[in-house]
Structure 1
Amino acid sequence: MKITDMRMETYLWPRTKPIRNGMYVYPNAGLNVVRIDTDEGISGMGLAGGIEEAPEVGKVISEHLRQYVVGQDPFDTEKIWDEMWQPKLVGRRGITTRVISGIDIALWDIKGKASNRPVYKLLGGYAEKVPVYVAGGYYEEGKGLEELASEMEHSVSMGARAIKMKVGGVPINEDVERVRVVREAVGPDVKVMMDANCAYRVYEAIELARKVEKYDLFWFEEPINPDDYKGHQLITQATSVP
């Protein structure tokens, strides 16, 4: 089996209201779909997430990477990844990495279809179920504490046993109040996580974490820049929130 074509299709549409997290505003929603075709009529699809605000950049990167994909055996996922992962051009984060991830997902989709097996079986998985969480709690114009609580209650009513909310977009004490409202809305048996999208400095992250310890947070995601290893150590040592 050989790969005959690869392309990225971008779908973008405006949100009714922009949403934001601790760092960024998202006026649009979208999908970036990597499609890979083979000479045996099997096609794979993968999602290259997180590039909705720069789809033209994603398409250019996809076209550049096409030379490392077309003509290859789709089962050679490690080889293809290695050839795309050029140290001087590709880092461990950013749009290029996200496009490569979409390509890799599409290749595994082909492998699953060709083998007539779900991909988790090809990877050696055995569990029929995995724990999931619902991500939400974004900041939005006109969205107060009551609306935030209703959103989280709705997620739980659909069966969610874990939810994640955004922090870092308002003063710390306001976020403490938001966390309190969410915990009260979902009850003590639902896991609650918070995600700052790297919005804080170390001392700010410590202040927030200490103030919400009593609300039994399951984790505190991306409090600061991911490369600040010492900062993460200081936060970990200063609070009981994971």
Structure 2
Amino acid sequence: MKITHILESTRPIKSDIRNAYIDFSKMTLSLVAVVTDVVHGGKPVIGYGFNSNGRYGQGHLVRERFVPRVLEAAPASLLNDAGDNLDPHKIWACMMTNEKPGGHGERSVAVGTIDMAVWDATAKIAGLPLHEMLAQRYGTGQANPRVFVYAAGGYYQPAKGVQGLLDEMKSYLDRGYSVVKMKIGGASLAEDCTRIEAVLKMLAPGQQLAVDANGRFDLATAVAYGKALTRYPLFWYEEAGDPLDFELQAKLGESYSGPMATGENLFSMQDARNLIRYGGM
């Protein structure tokens, strides 16, 4: 059993939406396929992965550093102890060979995209949905058939306006979502408050709104927004400042009493641990 090859394709997103920090007009992402010599139903088992939007495609890193390490490794060294499946942890360690600690940056996106595809292939080889396999290995053994989801949108867009925002949020609510999320920080505080109030007015009992600043604010702006947002029953106030500015997050928590969210742009265990230690969360 072995991985025979790993393919990557960088594709454009081509969207005119933007958040408080970036627009997606020239944004790309990577699609990765991990091909194995295992055959199910007459076809090779292939795992697929793709990286988060907002981080660009990682084709060069994937092809130059991480794919060669996997393909050059002894196939048996990448298998589990029973030898009947891939071992994602061993493959991850192989990819990170000769990588310095810290400064994770874009390499975490490249490694993570391959890692996603490896886990997909591993679950397919085991003949299980990935969530069931993870529950068996790391959870209680019983997979929860339900998971909380929310609809994230509310991006800024040319000529969209408040009515366009309301139409978008209504489309999510009509599909059954009970929590919707919109962007803030890409307009003035007054304009963002107008947008927030408009969405809140359309929500029915049991429906809630979260807001996301995408790391745009310095401390003074984050606190100013927090003071303005306090009067709204928000589901959460997300990523006010730079993801690695743990002091900002902690100080914001001292002045903002509502629920806060952050962490999606931390790409290492060490950074997540520092958020817990120093971020006031």
Q: Name the TM-score, length of structure 2 as normaliser.
A: 0.78
1:27-38 to 2 correspondences below 5 Å: 27-28=25-26, 31-38=29-36
Q: CA deviation at 1:39?
A: 1.7
Answer yes or no: is 1:107 the counterpart of 2:118.
yes
CA offset at residue 60 of structure 1?
Answer: 0.8
Q: Find 2:212's aligned residue among 192, 195, 200.
A: 195
| Equivalent position of 1:129 in the other structure | 146
After TM superposition, the structure 1 = structure 2 runs for residues 42-61 of structure 1, keeping only pairs within 5 Å, are 42-50=45-53, 54-55=56-57, 58-61=58-61
Q: Where does structure 1 differ by over 6 angstroms across 4 or more consecutive aligned residues?
A: none
* Cα 1:167/1:51, change in 2 over 3 Å: closer
Counterpart check, 1:182 vs 2:183 = no
RMSD: 1.9
Aligned positions, number: 236
Q: What are structure 2's unaligned runs of at least 5 residues?
A: 39-43, 80-84, 136-141, 260-281
Q: Single out whichever of 67-76 and 119-128 deviates more from structure 2.
A: 67-76
Deviation of 1:167 after TM superposition, in Å, equals 0.7
For the 8 Å contact 1:152–1:186, the answer to whether it is kept is: no
Output the amino acid matched with 1:43.
I
| Amino acid paired to 2:4 | T
Partner of 2:67: 66
What are the superposed Cα offsets for residues 156-214 of structure 1, whole Å, 9 maximum, x if unpaired? 00111111111111111111111111111223422211111111011211111221222
Would the aligned equivalents of 1:51 and 1:95 in 2 still touch at CA under 8 Å? Answer: no
Alignment of 1:169 with 2:180, yes or no, is no
Deviations 1:19-38 (A, max 9, x none): 11111111156552110111
Q: For 1:84, which of 95, 100, 122 is the aligned residue?
A: 95
Q: Is the 8 A contact 2:67 2:95 kept in 1?
A: no
Check the 8 A contact 2:27/2:53 in 1, yes or no. Answer: no
Q: Which residue of structure 1 lines up, in the alignment, with residue 19 of structure 2?
A: 21
CA shift for structure 1 position 88: 2.2
Higher strand share: 1
Q: In structure 1, the residue corresponding to 2:159 is in which secondary structure? A: coil
Aligned equivalents of 2:13 and 2:108: distance in 1?
23
Work out the CA distance in 2 between the residues paired with 1:13 and 1:137: 17
Q: SS of 2:194's equivalent?
A: helix
Query: What is the alpha-carbon distance in structure 2 between the residues aligned to residue 168 and residue 138 of structure 1?
Result: 11
Aligned to 1:107, what secondary structure does the other structure show?
helix
The alpha carbon displacement at 1:152 in A equals 0.5
* Range moving further from structure 2, 210-219 or 115-124: 210-219
